[in-house]
Structure 1
Amino acid sequence: MSQFYAVSSFTFNSSALSCDCLAHRFGNAADRPNRMRRYPSDMTDEEWALVRDALPVPAWLEGRGGQPEGYCHRQMLDAIRYVTDNGIKWRSMPADFPSWDRVYAYFCRWRDQGLVQEFHDRLRGRLREAEGRAEEPTAAIIDSQSVKGAASVPAVSRGYDGGKKINGRRRHVITDCLGLLLVVLVTAGNVTDRQAARVLFPRLRERFRKITLVWADGGYRGRLVAWAQEKLQLTLEVVKRSDDMTGFVVLPRRWVVERTLGWLMRSRRLVRDFETLPASSEAFIYFSQAMLMSRRLARRAAAPPAARPRWTIAA
């Protein structure tokens, strides 16, 4: 994991003090004026103050190659948030943002180098601490969500989900007890929950050594329970729906991950799957949740101590 964003004292390369991102402080973006923030997806100054310190340091600033960036990091993130929130095409980027191909290249670099996941995980750790929890969770919940695939989704990475009758892709997610994402995997729609869990559980165990208990629905029962216990020392507890239940019923623990899947649908880019690569879909999921967490953290920082909200989870 790379270093945190530098917060030391600095001097600008130009006389106009427009932004405190690293591209303005040490890169080639000092002469680019800051854009007027006008969209709901744009970061406020309070939100940027929190997001800035969680950004990974660029490789060129650490002496690992590459050229100093010529575009403001805050503008780049606002542009990606705009795409995530509004579901537009990359080529339909509003003119007040940097050119779409530069923003897309920035997005691809974060996706391919794992920076979006690193950025998301830092915000998750800060939000958990703000909620009075330890930075690393000890229990998790797993579930999946099927979404229709657009024409841009190739046949090799799409499939038909017979249970939901959806032709597209399936998002498999594991969250903590606050509903914050821990691991994400996007597969073809015909990949079952148990098949995806055999990929997700080793990743979960490798990254979160303290987690020993995972709650799931009936789709994960069977040999998977014994396999998780024997191979990974994970206790997989299936929360079943009673046969005498009728209509909508909130099930213990399972409602937490269901709510997280509902949060994803607030971002129009995630209402359907438009991405050629499943990795791009996973990156947009992380960006969507990073938006949610940064807004929560900014609201908590702005509110007086007596009025700070707490998102508690019922047992």
Structure 2
Amino acid sequence: MYRVTDQPTSAGCRTRRYPSDTTNAEWALLQPLLPTPASETAAGGRPEKHHRRAIMDALRYVTDNGIKWRALPSDFPPWQTVHGFFTRWGKAGVFDKIRDRLREKIRVTAGRNPAPSAAVIDSQSVKAAETVSRPSRGYDGGKKIDGRKRHIATDSQGLLLVVLVTAANNQDRTAARLLLAALHAVQHGVTWVWADGGYTSKALVDWAKETLRLTLHIVKKIAGQTSFVILPRRWVVERTFSWITQARRNVRDYERLTDHSAAFINLSTITMMTRRLTREKQARTT
């Protein structure tokens, strides 16, 4: 059950009843990071009918439980409204912005520089549902998976920096150029990147060094390794994939658009970081 302090504090905001709902402390982190409502801008617009906290709770519910949009419980705003916010905010980069600000807060709390200087990259193939169109899906022969592939870059703590979703038949070495370019565009301070053996390519290493001024370091398996062994740096990004797939919407890819797949990955990490920040804050005050 939710504590009394986790009940809504403003008119029109629904009662908290699901594990995925925001607490007051989490909402205090998220609200300032959302875009200004159109009705409050110079351009003007209609006032929003539904409280934004209810919208965010609905998005977290879909992410955490993996339900169909039309199956959204009736105590949330209409699914069409929630999906509309999901689409608009995703296209405007709102989820990217929230993810980045929360990551910076966690890094500062840990005594680190807000902007990382090193990153870890990896990929994960996941099965795709029948709703995923053929042009955006493929077969990963190595993993024997028909679906999509998630390419991510994290900082040294495993906090998400960049996510790219492609068809599963895209080789890591090929997608790495797009991933590293996207990473360099938003994180100019990153100069060192760790990767696993799937990225082994002199051409890729040289390209990263000459074009992006990035040192791509391949963390290879231990000689003679035949069973699972935790390798330095590589385990960080593998743990991030575990965090991402704790949200049921991310266990399989259901999205028609790869941008929507990336948005749900961002939403799952946003929930993880708000919980981490508010838990740490509570620990410091008790």
State the TM bucket, normalised to the shorter chain. over 0.9
* Pick aligned residue for 1:291 from 252, 257, 271: 271
Query: Contact 2:104–2:115 (CA<8 Å) still a contact in 1?
Result: yes
Give the AA of the match of 1:244.
G
1:103 matched to which residue of 2?
82
Deviation at 1:194, TM superposition (A): 1.1
Aligned: 1:133 with 2:112: yes
1:200 matched to which residue of 2?
179
2:234 matched to which residue of 1?
254
1:114 matched to which residue of 2?
93
The whole-number CA distance in structure 2 between the counterparts of 1:64 and 1:164 is 50
Aligned: 1:36 with 2:10: no
The whole-number CA distance in structure 2 between the counterparts of 1:66 and 1:157 is 36
1:219 matched to which residue of 2?
198
The whole-number CA distance in structure 1 between the counterparts of 2:84 and 2:180 is 31
* Pick aligned residue for 1:184 from 130, 138, 163: 163
Deviation at 1:65, TM superposition (A): 4.7
Deviations 1:34-68 (A, max 9, x none): 21111000011122122223323234423245432
The whole-number CA distance in structure 1 between the counterparts of 2:161 and 2:65 is 24
Deviations 1:70-96 (A, max 9, x none): 110100000000000000000000011
Aligned: 1:155 with 2:134: yes
Root-mean-square deviation (Å): 1.4
1:266 matched to which residue of 2?
246
Deviations 1:192-211 (A, max 9, x none): 11111111111111211111
1:88 matched to which residue of 2?
67
The whole-number CA distance in structure 2 between the counterparts of 1:299 and 1:242 is 37
Deviations 1:102-134 (A, max 9, x none): 101011111111111111111111111111111
- The number of equivalent residue pairs is 278
* Pick aligned residue for 2:211 from 227, 231, 255: 231
The whole-number CA distance in structure 2 between the counterparts of 1:41 and 1:260 is 19
Give structure 1 stretches of 5+ with no counterpart: 1-17, 21-29, 308-315
For residues 8-19 of structure 1, the aligned pairs below 5 Å read: 19=9
Aligned: 1:61 with 2:40: yes
Give structure 2 stretches of 5+ with no counterpart: 1-7
Query: Contact 2:58–2:76 (CA<8 Å) still a contact in 1?
Result: yes
The whole-number CA distance in structure 2 between the counterparts of 1:302 and 1:55 is 23
Deviations 1:118-171 (A, max 9, x none): 111111111111111111000000000000000000001000001100000000
The whole-number CA distance in structure 1 between the counterparts of 2:204 and 2:39 is 44
The whole-number CA distance in structure 2 between the counterparts of 1:304 and 1:135 is 20
Give the AA of the match of 1:277.
L
The whole-number CA distance in structure 2 between the counterparts of 1:131 and 1:274 is 35
Aligned: 1:279 with 2:259: yes
Report the secondary structure of 1:237's partner residue.
strand
Between the two proteins, what is the percent identity of the paired residues? 54
Please give the TM-score of this superposition, normalised by the length of structure 1. 0.85
Query: Contact 2:13–2:53 (CA<8 Å) still a contact in 1?
Result: no
Give the AA of the match of 2:190.
I
Task: List 4+ stretches of structure 1 deviating above 4 A.
Answer: none
Report the secondary structure of 2:35's partner residue.
coil
Deviations 1:167-220 (A, max 9, x none): 000000000001011010000011111111111111111211111000000111
Deviation at 1:19, TM superposition (A): 4.5
Deviations 1:229-271 (A, max 9, x none): 1111100000000231231100000000000001111000000
Report the secondary structure of 2:169's partner residue.
coil
Query: Contact 1:218–1:240 (CA<8 Å) still a contact in 2?
Result: yes
